[in-house]
Chain A
Amino acid sequence: MFEDLIYVLGKYHSWLIQGLGLTLQLLLISVIFGSALAIPLAICRTSKKVWVQAVPFSFIYVFRGTPLIAQLFMMYYGVGQLIANIDGIQDSWMWSYLRDPYWYCLFTFVLNTAAYVAEIMRGGINNVPSGEIEAARACGMTPATTYRRIIFPRMWQIIWPAYTNDVIFTLKATSLASTVTMMELTGAARKIVARTALPYEAFISAGIIYLIIVYVLTFGFKGVEKYLRRNEVRQANKKPSVKIGAQA
């Protein structure tokens, strides 16, 4: 078992490292662009007007309601084939990008992440205490300023644990990229299995790398959470000191 593991790591570590690079790339871009896209979606989603809500609602409904692998295939084989059939497209400079599975993967992951994060954000926005918003209005803040100064900071505080969870979910979702020929971490492991017929060793190696990524992610996100909740912590620290003072 250990001999085989050492053999796999010794001979094929470069595949795993390459796969890790692609996995992190997919994760980072999906989370950043997905979250950015989620903000306007979430804002529209909290609107009271039906026509403003309609588009983000159907978008979120479709992307949360269908399996990611179906979306990926639809994008890569469906949209991809449609694009390929456009007259002259294969001779244009764009073709070197449009034929590459990378962009279809990223696009799908970004939209999928956006749908999930938007729904989390909607919950966060709705849970901002209405008193704080009313207070902001009373101070004469415009809706934009209210969002910037009150709602967003509050929202991030509320959604952060759920958001962390979603980022980890996205990390695992990137493993589907190997179904459309992208050799990320899982793809690399599958390739090693095909070569060595050592499934445990290859998948355990990949699994451990995923665990390390998750560990680093949770560690970093915990740090951000502490920062976001710094006011609460300050207040929590104050209370006992007052009590101690009273007792003394």
Chain B
Amino acid sequence: MKNWIKAAAAAAVGIALSASAASAAWDKVVVATEGAYPPFNFVDKDGNLQGFDVDFTKELCKTAGVECEIVAQDWDGIIPGLLAKKFDAIIAQMSITEERKRSIDFTNYYCTTPAVFVGKDGMKIEAYKDGKVMEDALDGMVIGVQRSTTHANFLEDNFPNAEIRMYDTQDNALLDLTAGRIDATLADSGVLLEWVNSDAGKGYSFVSDTFAPVEWFGEGAGIGIRKEDQDLKELFNKALAEMLANGSYEKLNKKYFETINLHPR
């Protein structure tokens, strides 16, 4: 019996030691990004990696107290590269999905482009407020949305009294919006922001708050890490929480997107 306790104690010490050894091993982390997804990550004309993801990574590593090297990696090879230990983390707007979770692990989500309604200037739609769906907010309206998207599901499941038109592409929905054949469209705010600011979108603007409830739009993008590196996951999660608390995340968010909240939950 005593032997058994001894063995357990020795094992516990061993685990504690190896854990501290591992965290000590993370004074340098190699982070991969795609470098082809502006404004989140891209290569500028001098050949340097730029974008929200890159700035976020620098800030995250500073907060976590680790030295980081950022490398570019083609999208197709980004998960294999992580598993082959070419780098230790992926910060490249990678959505957290069940399928990817089979091979790699993710931190908490660090970014999501929430959904937003776009309509004529001066309009106001409050379909999602204080974490609740306002089921009568769209009554009698004609709303356009791209087929086969989470946005389409959200509209169809929650607003029985609205007419939902499903388009093949978001561009066609926007065409019909300018023709006045639909009253508003719901889509990814990152996509719509570009359109609203373009000539084609003159007279139209965001007419709702941005929102991204998990049950409809998924968890968002997380930092991809190897399954065995649970200590790195903890390290990043802690640093992320700190960034959100001390306002440095918000500052970065504002730098890239004035009107879109990238971390709404």
Binding site for B on A (CB under 8 A): 77, 80-81, 84-85, 90, 95, 99, 101, 178-179, 181, 183, 187, 190-191, 193-195
Contact A99 B148, CB 8 Å, known A77-B172, A187-B166? no
Q: Main SS of the interface on chain A?
A: helix
B179 engages A181 (CB within 8 Å): no
Contact A193 B168, CB 8 Å, known A81-B175, A84-B179? no
- State the Cβ distance, A188 to closest chain B Cβ, in Å: 11
- State the Cβ distance, B38 to closest chain A Cβ, in Å: 28
Q: Which of A84, A183, A194 contacts B148 (CB 8 A)?
A: A194
Task: Say if the beta carbon of B264 comes within 8 Å of chain A.
Answer: no
Residue of chain B at shortest CB distance from A101: B165
Residue of chain A at shortest CB distance from B173: A181
Q: Main SS of the interface on chain B?
A: mixed
On chain B, the residues within 8 Å of A191 by CB distance are: 147-148, 166
A194 engages B147 (CB within 8 Å): yes
Task: Say if the beta carbon of B118 comes within 8 Å of chain A.
Answer: no
On chain B, the residues within 8 Å of A80 by CB distance are: 179, 181
Task: Convert B22-41 into 0s and 1s, putting 1 for each residue whose CB lies closer than 8 angstroms to a CB of A.
Answer: 00000000000000000000
Q: Which of A84, A183, A193 contacts B166 (CB 8 A)?
A: A183
On chain B, the residues within 8 Å of A195 by CB distance are: 153
Task: Say if the beta carbon of B68 comes within 8 Å of chain A.
Answer: no
Add 18 more A-B contacts to A80-B179, A101-B181, A193-B148 (CB < 8 A): A77-B175, A77-B176, A80-B181, A84-B181, A95-B180, A99-B142, A99-B179, A99-B180, A101-B165, A178-B166, A181-B165, A181-B166, A187-B166, A190-B147, A190-B148, A194-B147, A194-B152, A195-B153
On chain A, the residues within 8 Å of B165 by CB distance are: 101, 181
